[in-house]
Chains A and B, each alone.
Chain A
Amino acid sequence: MAATNVEVWQHASVVAIDQVAIDIQRIVLEPQLPKRAEPGSHVDLKVVIDGEQDKRSYSIVESSDDGTRLTITVFKAPASRGGSVYMHGLAVGDRLEITQPLQNFPLRIGAKRYVLLAGGIGVTALVNMARTLKDARADYTLVYAGRSREAMAYLEPLREEHGENLVVHVDDEDTSLQVPALLAGLDVHTELYMCGPIRLMDAVRRQWTDSGLSYPNLRYETFGNSGWFDPEEFVVRIPRLGVEATIPTGRSMLEALESAGVDMMFDCRKGECGLCEVRVLELDGTIDHRDVFYSERQQNAATKMCCCVSRVIRTVPADGRERPAGHSLPVVTIDVS
């Protein structure tokens, strides 16, 4: 089960596309250099946004035994940086540049009990895992939370495949997931694998620690693509370098600073490693921390941020009401390494 993360790039052809839920497309790829995808693995692929090439990660939902067919599934996010729009524009016969399967989210065989927690499109990282656990006759539950049934991909096939091992929570049916209740039933021998929006993952991470569960038994994957709030345009200033840049909703602060000629340090570009950390000198707004690097205490302190994923928004009014429109852009003044 050696995790390999050597990027081997290749061409792949799109051989099938179909819609599996509102704004969600299933895309089947035929790679040139087939390699079987282990549960938890993903591919990186090159997308074109506004004429510029960029890289996105998509979980492998299904892999044929010989790896000749890989299925990914893409949600056209309303506040997307542009990758999902590009993906939804693909047609059968198109060719893409993709990596062989990469593994950052390995499933460990041998735990006494498993909970797989999927939030929305995050289900894509867990479909293959659930199937593997079923085949291994493991003790597992797949918990799948979404806004509405129409927006939840693979709901019916998962029901057929996993029967009572599937537990569904739907917001618009008033059966929303209650994180404390979910974790209350777990013991120290349970491993939880989750993928979903950062709000859900943050809530689970916090509750997990509070519940005294073993932290290494909580496994999650994030591609750094969701926040607590919708992205807004904001301004970054680096006085020491005399740089000022406006970050549009579809770009990350790291990308914008790179484009502005700032020599930036980074590694994972998905909010895990902490290498792209910038120091916050002044803040007119609120930081929407989208990383999984900082603790809650560090995020609340708002003195540093992972600029690869985190953003700045206008300050949320304490009473939670709609923010007034037309307000000037939020501004963060930082220094970099």
Chain B
Amino acid sequence: MTIVESTSSTTNKTLRFPLNAWYVAAWDREVVRKPLAVRVANQPLALYRTEDGEVVALADACWHRLAPLSMGKVVGKDGIQCPYHGIVYNSAGRCVSMPAQEVLNPSATVPSFPAVERYRFIWVWLGDPLLADPDKIPDMHQMDDPKWAGDGETIDLDCNYQLVLDNLMDLTHEEFIHTSSIGGKNISSSDFIVTHGANSVTLSRWMIDIEPVPFMRGQMNAKFPGFEGNVDRWQIIRYEFPSTICIDVGVAKTGTGAPEGDRSQGINGYVMNTISPSTDTTSRYFWAWMRNYLLDSQKLTTQIKDGIAGVFREDTAMLNAQQVAIDAMPSYEFYNLNIDAGGMWIRRLIERALEAEGAPWQPRT
């Protein structure tokens, strides 16, 4: 008989972050020739592009005296120069020039991290570079698929990234936090189904024959001018390791077969979310709202983005306050509800990955 070791997460309010994983470091548009300073999973990085447009991610500290390379400038085809004493590194992090000496010190390097540009984001890998397989980047193809249109923003949060994953995995909070936009009284009372795989968790919820919430009614009216009446609403939330959640959302005229697969009488959006831990108690939340209708309407893109940004500000306030409470009352535990099943599976998958890396679960204090 195999003895299964119980791994209850009750006490792990926040989590550390696996390093053998892809995290978004920035939007593609943010990384240019001029170096950009970001912090991912506690690692300060200097991001820039070579003359050929390749993205480079170096540790943001010169080998010599740890001056931030992001304060320096790019030189030559792929180099970056430390702003302090002029030491130059190439895109592999190798020193190529050193002041006042004819031979380079052979140990002069700064760590260089794998970086991949995909789905309008720059992804970095801070763990074992041998394992850095770009196929492990979570699927966010709606971001740059011509069948989809939309845009998004970045939110800087003063909370552990796991709190954001919890938030997105359990949308019953919409009913209480986002009452005036995407909430609606049917969410918390509707049933949901959770499934999980080795690297993913899916939570599906259908709400049949309900009154559309204001945001969804607006979208229906954009696609079907003059539409009135009830809808079938869906939220299919898919988490992919380590910290990406894409939510298939939409509504269709009730009784037109959406639950069976015919969404032609509705509108469909994808809420793209990927959260990068910056430090143990701060994170960067990259989101976009993509749609597959009225693709040419920049007006709609901007309206939706502005609307969702307003909705997410309500989450920001809650998440930051939640972290403050966690820090202020370290002896208080989390308790879990049935609605937390999705978030709990994420915690289980992340904890397994941390264990495999030999890292403790909890953030450093």
Verify B105–A109 contact, CB threshold 8 A: no
Question: Does residue B90 face the partner (Cβ distance < 8 Å to A)?
Answer: yes
For B87-120 the 0/1 string (1 means CB < 8 A from A) is 0001011111000011111110101111000000
Partner of B109, one of A3, A132, A293, A294: A3
Q: Which residues does chain B contribute within 8 Å of A294, judged by CB atoms?
A: 102-103
Question: Does residue B297 face the partner (Cβ distance < 8 Å to A)?
Answer: no
CA distance A2 to B127 in the complex (A): 9
Verify B102–A109 contact, CB threshold 8 A: no
CA distance A186 to B132 in the complex (A): 27
Using CB atoms and an 8 Å cutoff, list the residues of chain A in contact with chain B. 1-3, 66, 104-106, 108-111, 132, 135-136, 215-217, 219-222, 272-274, 292-295, 297-298
Verify B92–A216 contact, CB threshold 8 A: yes
**Interface core residue of A1, A66, A109, A221 (most chain B CB under 10 Å):** A1
Interface contacts (Cβ under 8 Å), in number, total 60
Q: Which residues does chain A contribute within 8 Å of B218, judged by CB atoms?
A: none
Known: A66-B358, A136-B130, A217-B94. 11 other contacts (CB 8 A): A2-B43, A3-B109, A3-B111, A105-B107, A106-B111, A109-B129, A215-B104, A216-B96, A221-B107, A292-B106, A294-B103
The smallest beta-carbon distance between B152 and chain A, in angstroms, is: 31
Q: Which residues does chain B contribute within 8 Å of A111, judged by CB atoms?
A: 92
CA distance A132 to B107 in the complex (A): 20
Q: Which residues does chain B contribute within 8 Å of A105, judged by CB atoms?
A: 107
The smallest beta-carbon distance between A16 and chain B, in angstroms, is: 25
Closest 7 CB pairs of A and B: A216-B94, A295-B102, A109-B129, A104-B107, A2-B111, A216-B96, A295-B103
Question: Does residue B59 face the partner (Cβ distance < 8 Å to A)?
Answer: yes
For B48-59 the 0/1 string (1 means CB < 8 A from A) is 000000000001
Verify B96–A110 contact, CB threshold 8 A: no
Q: Which residues does chain B contribute within 8 Å of A273, judged by CB atoms?
A: 105
For B65-101 the 0/1 string (1 means CB < 8 A from A) is 0000000000000000000000000101111100001
Verify A109–B130 contact, CB threshold 8 A: yes
Verify A293–B129 contact, CB threshold 8 A: no
Q: Which residues does chain A contribute within 8 Å of B114, judged by CB atoms?
A: 109-110
CB-based nearest A residue for B88: A216
Q: Which residues does chain B contribute within 8 Å of A3, judged by CB atoms?
A: 109, 111
Verify B96–A1 contact, CB threshold 8 A: no
Verify A1–B111 contact, CB threshold 8 A: yes
CB-based nearest A residue for B43: A2
Q: Which residues does chain B contribute within 8 Å of A219, judged by CB atoms?
A: 106
Partner of A298, one of B102, B105, B130: B102
Partner of A293, one of B96, B103, B111: B103
